[in-house]
Amino acid sequence: MNSTEVAERLKSMPDGSSIALKIGETNFADNYVAALNGVLKEFMPERRYTCIYVTTTTPSHLCKNLFEMFEMDVSNIYFVDAISHIMMNVSTQMERTTYIESPTMLENILLKIEFLLKKLANENKLLILDSINTLAIHNGNRILAEFLHILVNNLKSKGVFTIILGVEERNSDEISNMLSLVCDDTIVVK
């Protein structure tokens, strides 16, 4: 599936939808870029979304650099960075970025998201959670399921479009079940 196909699938969904965006492990870099191009370059501008990008895998400054390299507009992306601290990589703090000490601090992630939702009250919002696989490494299944349930239901009630990224082949049955309970649809990019 290419970036245009990803964008078209997303455009068919109403605001407040929650989507599991599974990226194939084979040719992962190409699949990841295609998925993000579809979301950030084609889908997000059409809906005039402001994005809250929760990163638990790659530090926010590296995400920002990657997005800029592929000519994605980062001026309306706010990062909630839950990985830089444990990677000891917060010497340069970026604007529009909130840092959390660890991906295990799920309550803090929820609080920072809620703060940004209030701050961006007059904006159409998109939240991207990158990635469910990393959160599963750092948290037990029960607490992760509770986190996803609270997060997604809260976002749906506020009309926030939610995308949960993950590596398709790395999803356990438990993660797949969690996603099926909170997501309206699944898109696989291979």
**How many domains does one find in the chain?**
1
For residues 174 and 77, give the distance between their C-alpha atoms in angstroms, rounded to a whole number.
30
Q: Write out pLDDT tens, residues 146-188.
A: 999 999 999 999 999 999 999 988 888 999 999 999 999 999 9
State which H helix or E strand residue 170 sits in.
Answer: none
pTM of the model: 0.95
Range of the domain at 90: 3-189
CATH number at residue 28: 3.40.50.300
Q: Write out pLDDT tens, residues 70-97.
A: 999 999 999 999 999 888 766 677 899 9
